[in-house]
Each structure stands twice: as C-alpha cells, then as structure tokens.
Structure 1
Amino acid sequence: MLRWPAWTISRAPRSLQGQMLLAIALALLVAQGLSAALIWREQNERRVQLTVNEAAFRLIGQPPRENHPPDGRPHGPPPDDIWRLPRPLRVRVDVNSPEQPGDRQRSDVASALHDVLETQGLVHRQVLVVERDPQADAIVGAWFGDVSKRLESFGDHRPQARLIIASIQRPDGTWLTARILSPANERQVILSLLMQTVLLYFVLVGAVALILRRIARPLKALTGRVEAFARERNADGQLEPEGPDDIRRLIVAHNAMEARIVGLLDEKDVMLGAIGHDLKTPLAALRVRIEAVEDENERARMAATIEDINRSLDDILSLARVGRPSDPLETTELSALVTDVMGEYEDMGEDVTLEDTVRIVLPLRATWLRRAMRNLVSNALRYGQRARVSLEREDGEAVLRIEDDGPGIPEGDILRMMEPFTRLEASRNTATGGTGLGLTLARAIADQHGGSLVLANRWQAGQVVGLIATLRLPLAA
C-alpha cells in the first residue's frame, strides 16, 4: 500500500479549495509530463528521419569531392542543391574510418540509413553514423568557427548545432562520408513546453479556483454556522442560501434542521420545567407531612430519602439543561474560583489541599464550572478520603487536576463511569455513593466550555494508589 511521507501530509492544504487546486495542479503536471515525453519522442523521431533522408540523399545522389574534375565541376549538370553546400559539408571519400575518440554513436540513425541504402540498391559493407561537436571536427571546425564569429559580429547568437557524420564503407574498403549540420533545438522545445505549461496553469487553475471559491465560500460559512449552533443552540443568524444548487439545498436543509432542533429543545425545557414543578410540589408536601411522624429516627430516615430524591431530581434537570445554558460567558479568574471552592470544603473540615496554581483568566460560566469542581472534589473525598487540587497552564489550555488516594477504577470501566447513572458496586454503592450523575454532569460542563474531562488511575510501584481527574479548558484567544 502506498504511504505518503508524514511531512507531505502535514504540509498539504486542509481546505477543500486547496486540496482541489493541489489535485488539479498535480494532474496537470502529470499530463504535461506525458505530453512533453510524447512531443520529445516525436521530435526526436522526426530529427532522426530528416537526418536519415539527408544522409541517404547525399550519399546516393552527390558525387564525392575526389571524383571532381580539375575545374571543380562534375561531368553533366549536377543538381543545384549539391553546389549550394559549403565545401566542408560535401561528400568525401576517406581511406580510413572517420570515427574518432569522443564521438557519440548514433545506432538509431545508422540502422534506418542501412535500410534506406539497401532499398536503393547501394552496395556497402558497413554503415557508421556518429555525432560530434562541429568545432572538434578537422574538416568542419575551422569553417564553423568562422561562420559563428561572423554571426556574432552581426549581433546574432552563436549558432547551436550538432554535427552528424554519416559514412558507409564501400566494397573497395574506402569510406564515403557526408557531414550534416543539425540544429540543436532541444532548448527551444523545452522552453515551448514550459511556456505552454505555465499558460495552462494560469488559465485552467485560475478558472478552477474561481469555481471552487464559489463552492467553498458558502461551505465555509456553513461550517462556521454549524460550529456556532453547536455552542449556542440558537436559531438566530441562519444563513441565506447561496452558491450552486446543491449547496443551496444543503443550507436550506441545515436551516430547517436547526429550527427543528431548537423546537425540540424548547419543548424539552417546557417539559423539564413541568416535571420539576410536578415532582417537587408533592415532595415538599410530603416533607411537611413527615413532621407528624412521632418516631424521630423514622422521621429522619424519611427526610433523608426525600432529600436524596430532591438531589437526584436537581442533577437530572441540571444535566438536561447543561447543553443549553441560559447564562452568558463571563471573564473570570479561574484561580480565584478554585480557591473559593476549596475554601468551602476547608470550612466544612474536609481534608483538601490546594497545591500549585497559576493566575488564569478566561471566559466561562462560573456557576456551572463551580458545580463541576464540587462534583469532582466531592467524588475524591467520598472514595479517596482526601483531595489535592492544582491548576496549571499547558499547551494553550487551563488544566485543573483533582487527585485522591482511593482504590481507583478498573481500566476497563473508566469510560463507562462517566455515563449517566453508572456506579461501581465495590465502592460506589447506594450506601456510600450518589446518583451516578456527578461525573456525567462534570464532563457535560467541560464539553459546554469546549474542554474535556479525563479520568486516569494514579500508579505507584506498579499499584493503583488513587485517581486523577483532569479537567481541561481552552484559554481565550
């Protein structure tokens, strides 16, 4: 399976528009690479064919220099093209092979030239085709250098060319050699491909960027709206449909869903208010009636039962309302709030210790956060006999830790303990425990503030020596 390096993933764009543009740019790059390879191959084949044709034409149709009469002209009217060639480029007859050290063998041209010569019936022993720098050739070098200097004197660039030497060994052992200057136009081909690629990038990527912006802008707005609704549960500020039809339908559907959710939450609040009123009223009446019970112990047990029911009812109603708080966020000094809560327990004579704290100010709902802290500290005192509290700043978060010296929680039950009405039979039974909503409510309050609550056993020498509850809250930007 193909895996990308971690650094490429971390640097890749995360937005829809960025990823689409990156994908299109990469696809265009691959397509241009394939196109460049095909064009290069076609150009190379074309150059080979032109070289073969010119070499065959000269070797077959042009008389060699050594066969010319003293006046420099062959018998009969030669083709005009023959005498237009500079003298160094005319066909020569050499006793030895024209190959010299440093030449580049052109077997592709030699093979094609061999086929053409056989087709034309030209008898030969061997075909040799090499490529060399024109200035390194003893025949062409001086002439080519002189031409280059004259062109430079007129302000032209120095000509870029390669010298192709095509030679065949005749039956008598001599070599019939033609020298061909071929323009080295690879740079022009590469420049043309680069310009084409840049033009395509500007046109295609620019057009796609405009289209993606039209799509991504309403999606970005919808994302912000979803995040705001998740925090506030309020239908105010719904988005106006915009963008393509699919995005418009998505926004309309989301607005309808928001309205439906808000309606359900309103119904829930009304129902909870009615339940609270309908249950607490008879409980209050029952609390008055038990005063008529003569047995003091029995009356105390009945009063404790009613109080437990009231606390359970308060916890249930609080848990139901925590996701939709009515009080706004207020800038609060968290360290002072922690100190106040710890002072309450110290006044009651509880074994609590306030350890290292730092001054942290952030927006929060003090009433709700105070309740979460009370639940966590009470839980530590109930099952661990003592509580140690610290407040620190870590990685852009306010970190509140509550430690106890209790038996801890089995590793497999830690996550389950934050579910509603969950208690461990061994230590969190009905005689010593609460309703099983304390940790659930504390986690819900942490979620309400964009934070988290994590429980973990405290280990020492391979044994569990307590529990650590870590409440994390994001600091204000």
Structure 2
Amino acid sequence: MNTLRAKLAVLLTVVIIAVVCILTSILVYLFDPPNEQDAISPLVDQIEFLTQVRQIAPKLVVVQEAAAGGEVEANLTAWIRDALMARGAPRDVIVSRKNDLPLLSIPVDQGWIVAQIPDLPPAGGIFHLLLIWLALTTLGMMAVALFFANRMVKPLVLLERAIETVGPDAVLPELAVTGPAEVRVAAKALNSLSSRLKGAMESRMRLVAAAGHDLRTPITRMRLRAEFVEDEEDREMWLKDIDELDRIADSAILLVREESGKSAPAPIRLDILISDLVDELRTLSYDVTLTNSAAGTALANRTGLSRAFRNLIINASTHGKRARVAVQSTPKEIVVVIDDDGPGIPVDLIGQVFEPFFRVDRARMKQFDGAGLGLTIAKEIVQRAGGSIKIENGSLRGLIQTVRLPACSRI
C-alpha cells in the first residue's frame, strides 16, 4: 500500500467508483423505479379482478385448458403467491416466460386464465441490482486502474532498477532518456549527477595517490637524517614514526588501487584460500585457528580477496588476542565468520569501523602497527566481489566479523 503503484490504483478506483455511484443515484432519482409493494399491488389487483369477472361474466374471459408454457419464473411466482396470501386470497398462480414474454397463469374452475404482464423488479427491489452493478463495476475499475497504474509507474520502476545497479564505486549507470517529460528530466539529472560524481571520485583518487606517492621522497630523506641522530632512544622514536608514515602512504596508495582496480574476477575455492591464509599467519606467530572449513567457490580477484581476509584475520588476532575462523557454505552464498576474545568496540563507535584511519582508542596507536586502513580496504574488496561485511560485538566478549560472498558454481 506504500508503493506509488498501489496508491495510484486506489486513487483511480475510488474516483471512478465515486463518479459511477453519483451518476447511478441521479438516474435512479430521475426514473424513480417502483418499490416492491408499488410493483406487485396492481398485478394482485388484476388477478382478483380477472377471477371476479370470470365468476360474474364467464364469456368475457378466455379460459385455456392448460397453463402458459415456457420456463417458470420460480422467484416471481413465489413473490405473487405470497402477496395473494397476504391479501387473504391465496391462489396457485404461475409466472412463466415464453418467447421472452412474461405470462401469468391464473387457475380457475374450468382451466387457466393466461395474461401477459410487464416485467417486474426483482425480489429485494432495485437496490439489490444496484449492489451487484456496483460490485461488478468495482472489480472492473480495479483491473483498469491497476493496468494504468502499472503503465504510469513503469518509467519510475526502470529508474529504480537502474539506481539499484549502482556498483561498488557508487557511480550510477547511464540511464536512457525516454518516457514522459518528467521522467526524461529526472534521467538527465541523474546522468549529470553520475558524471559529476564520477569526476569527483576520480579526482579524489588521483589526489590520494599523488599524495601517497609524493610522501615517499620526504619520508626517505627523513629516514636518512634519522640515522644520524646520535641519541639511540631518539633515533628509534624517529624511525618508528617514519615507519608509520610509510605504512600510511602505502595503505593510501593500496586503497586507491583497490577502488580503481578493474581486475577480472575468477572462481576461487574460498575454503582453500582461508586455510592457506591461516597456515601462513600461524607461521608468522599469529594466534589463529580454523574451526570449520566448508567447501565453497566465490567469484573474485584472488589477490584482493586474500588481502581482505588477511587484514580481517590479523585485525582479530592482534586486537582480539586470538582469532577463530569458520567457513560456512550454502548453495547461494559463502559465509566466513571471524571472532576473537578482545574487548570489542563501544556501541556508539561500531558504526565507524570502516572509516579510513579509524581507531577505537587513539592512545593505543603506538601499541599496534598499522595505518587504520585495513578494514576500509577489506570492505572495498569484498563489496567489489558482490559481498558484504558486518562487524558486531559478541554476546560475551570480542568482535564477530561476518563476510558474505555469493557462491559461484564454476570451478
């Protein structure tokens, strides 16, 4: 009911039904059809009159041996018999229809008096027919309203589907400028917005890449000068800060490469990739355990996906003391769950974990190496592969990192 299609259909139906009801009411008022009593009373009077004439002057009334043939109108017959019963003159009259003419057969002593009568309103009166008429009109108008509502919102549905195809780079696809004037204006505006957005993102990528590249030269000079610092403690502090600057520059350049990368995806056995990563990180003294490894194939860039999971697992084993990795597989998707035993993240900050250079506690920056771009890069890689990452606090402790990737049947 919240969709534009449903609202248009309801609006059209209500308007048309309202117009039909008003016009029908006006016609009923102008023609003033008789009610049940007004329609049946003259006919009952006619039956009583004919039976009396038959008794007083038999030659004036033609009597047939049998009742009029044709299809018996059971409802009208019962209706007239009830009216005669109410008058105190019960008689088993028969109303039939022959050659599309309503005929009344009145039983008398020597046979039947047959007379043609006008069509009577149905039992229940004219309003019974009006209710049926309005019900049929409502159903018909609903079908027509739904048809035209679909036609009216079809261009908007095309725009909605086009917007839903926005890729991981957040750039809108080119929309066809067709349809009504309003839709064409909207399509042109979206195409213009997409072009400006694409230009702004490319400019940002070039700026970040240039800044990361240009930092290399002063960082190298600073490293050389730091080597000549006489005080060993000061020299170590300088070199540590320079190493951090170097990591930030490398991470920024890597982020730009991931966001602008166009590497063709290929089928990857995700369970094998994760198993190899766990073995590699364990040799580097990271506390990582593979708790489950269900076979599954994903379609992605192997180098990028390996980098993403390496960042996530290292993040768990470094900040969460130890990491446990489980690979689950269904026919439609592959789920990788990474949980740890760390302190977790405050609820008011957990929505910022994928922001560049995010730190839960700025005071802990010196305790762990890294530029604060690991999760940002991992999210970019996973989204480019058509997947998603969700990070939440565990029920008792630590973080739970859940990666979902669409399953691929090709191997």
- Tell whether the structures are fold-level matches, with TM greater than 0.5: yes
Q: 2:36 aligns with which of 11, 34, 48?
A: 48
Given residue 140 of structure 1, which amino acid in structure 2 is its aligned partner?
A: D
1:305 aligns with 2:293: no
Aligned 1:208-219 pairs, distance under 5 A = 208=148, 212-213=150-151, 216=154, 218-219=155-156
Say yes or no: does 1:409 pair with 2:361.
no
What secondary structure, in the 3-state scheme, does the structure 2 residue paired with 1:356 have?
strand
Distance 1:224 1:64 in 2: 78
Contact 2:247 2:370 in 1 (8 A): no
For 2:391, what is the secondary structure of its paired residue? strand
Moved more, 42-51 or 445-454: 42-51
Distance verdict in 2 for CA 1:360–1:323, change over 3 Å: same
Residue of structure 1 equivalent to 2:402:
470
User: What are the superposed Cα offsets for residues 430-463 of structure 1, whole Å, 9 maximum, x if unpaired?
Assistant: 334644433344334433434332223334xxxx
Query: Where does residue 299 of structure 2 map in the other structure?
Result: 363
- Which whole-Å deviations, capped at 9, do the CAs of 1:205-238 have from their partners, x for residues lacking one? 58726xx43751x434433433444345568x72
Instruction: Deviation per CA, 1:241-260: give whole Å up to 9, x if none.
Output: 11011111111111111111
Counterpart for residue 65 of structure 1: 52
Following superposition, the deviation at residue 36 of structure 1 comes to 11
The question of whether the paired residues in 2 share the 8 Å contact of 1:162 and 1:184 is answered with: no
Which residue of the partner structure matches residue 267 of structure 1?
203
- Within 5 Å, give how 1:229-244 maps onto structure 2: 229-232=166-169, 238-244=174-180
Partner secondary structure for residue 222 of structure 1 = helix
Task: Within 5 Å, give how 1:182-331 maps onto structure 2.
Answer: 183=120, 185=122, 189=129, 193=133, 197=137, 201=141, 204-205=144-145, 208=148, 212-213=150-151, 216=154, 218-232=155-169, 238-293=174-229, 298-319=234-255, 322-331=258-267
SS across alignment from 2:244 = helix
Give 2:327's aligned amino acid.
L
Deviation by residue 1:146-185 (Cα, 9 ceiling, x = unmatched): x67xx4xxxx69979999xxxxxxxxxxxxxxxx886464
The question of whether the paired residues in 2 share the 8 Å contact of 1:398 and 1:473 is answered with: yes
Counterpart of 2:175, as a letter, is: L
- In terms of mean alpha carbon deviation, does 304-313 or 36-45 score higher? 36-45
Q: Distance in 2 between matches of 1:198 and 1:438?
A: 61
Q: Pick closer, same or farther for the CA change 1:453–1:263 going to 2, 3 Å.
A: same
Match of 1:385 among 321, 329, 333: 321
Q: Does 1:140 align with 2:92?
A: yes
C-alpha offsets along residues 296-316 of structure 1, whole Å, 9 cap, x if unaligned?
554443322211111122334
User: Cα–Cα, structure 1 residues 246 and 382, in superposed 2: closer, same or farther, change >3 Å?
Assistant: same
For 1:45 and 1:470, locate their aligned partners in 2 and report how far apart those are by CA, in whole Å: 74
One-letter code of the match for 2:160? T
Aligned partners of 2:315, 2:45: CA distance in 1, in Å? Answer: 102
Conserved 8 A contact 1:290-1:299:
yes
Q: 1:4 matched to which residue of 2?
A: none
Contact 1:312 1:435 (C-alpha < 8 Å) held by counterparts: yes
- After superposition, what is the alpha-carbon deviation per residue over 1:348-382, rounded to whole angstroms, capped at 9, x for unaligned? 13221112112221222333332222222122222
- Per the TM alignment, residue 326 of structure 1 is displaced from its structure 2 partner at its CA by 3.2
Q: Distance in 2 between matches of 1:438 and 1:132?
A: 96
In the TM superposition, residue 279 of structure 1 has moved relative to its aligned partner by 1.0
Q: Is the Cα contact below 8 Å between 2:391 and 2:401 reproduced in 1?
A: yes
User: Structure with the greater relative contact order (CA < 8 A, sep ≥ 6): 1 or 2?
Assistant: 2
The separation in 2 between residues aligned to 1:159 and 1:186, in whole angstroms, is: 16
CA–CA separation in structure 1 for the residues paired with 2:33 and 2:233? 109
Q: Distance in 1 between matches of 2:381 and 2:103?
A: 77
Distance 2:386 2:27 in 1: 58
Structure 2 residue corresponding to 1:449, chosen from 373, 385, 394: 385
State the identity %: 27
Letter in 2 for 1:472: R
The CA distance in 2 between the partners of 1:278 and 1:162, in whole Å, is 111
Residues 408, 466 of structure 1: 8 Å contact kept: yes
Deviation at 1:292, TM superposition (A): 3.5
Q: Counterpart of 1:222 in structure 2: which amino acid?
A: L
Residues in 1 aligned to 2:157 and 2:381: alpha-carbon distance in whole angstroms: 28
Q: Helix, strand or coil: the match of 1:355?
A: strand
Q: How many residues align?
A: 383
SS in 2 for 1:363: strand
Mapping of residues 346-357 of structure 1, within 5 Å: 346-357=282-293
C-alpha distance in structure 2 between counterparts of 1:161 and 1:324, whole Å: 91
CA distance in 2, matches of 1:227, 1:132: 73
CA contact (8 A) 1:162 1:182 kept: no
Instruction: Give the structure-1-normalised TM-score.
Output: 0.63
CA contact (8 A) 1:215 1:243 kept: no
Does the 8 A contact of 2:291 with 2:326 survive in 1?
yes
Report deviation, 1:399.
1.2
* Unaligned segments of structure 2, at least 5 residues: 66-76, 107-116
| Structure 2 counterparts to residues 15-164 of structure 1, below 5 A | 19=6, 22-23=9-10, 27=14, 34=21, 45-48=33-36, 50-51=38-39, 54=42, 65=52, 69=56, 130-131=82-83, 139-141=91-93, 144=94, 151=98
Larger Rg: 1
Question: Could you say if the C-alpha distance between residues 27 and 474 of structure 1 is closer, same or farther in structure 2, counting changes exceeding 3 Å?
Answer: farther
